[in-house]
Amino acid sequence: MIFISLRPVMKGPGWLQGLKFGLLMWLIAAMMMAAWSDVFNLPATIWLWWAVDMLIGYVVATPVLGIVVEKLKK
The CA-CA-CA angle for residues 48, 60, 71, to 5°, reads 150
Query: In this predicted model, what pLDDT tens digit does every residue of 25-53 receive, in sequence order?
Result: 999 999 999 899 889 889 989 999 999 99
* 1 against 58, higher pLDDT: 58
Residue 10: predicted pLDDT: 86
Kindly report the pTM of this predicted structure.
Answer: 0.81
CA distances from 43 to 35, 36, 46, 58 (A): 14, 12, 6, 23
Split into its structural domains, the chain has a count of 1
* 6 against 27, higher pLDDT: 27
Q: How far apart are CA 11 and CA 40, in angstroms?
A: 38
Among 6, 11, 21, 12, which residue's Cα sits nearest to residue 65? 21
Structural domain range at position 20: 2-73
Using the predicted structure, report yes or no on whether residue 60 has a pLDDT greater than 90. yes
Average model confidence (pLDDT) for the chain? Answer: 90
Q: How far apart are CA 33 and CA 19, in angstroms?
A: 21
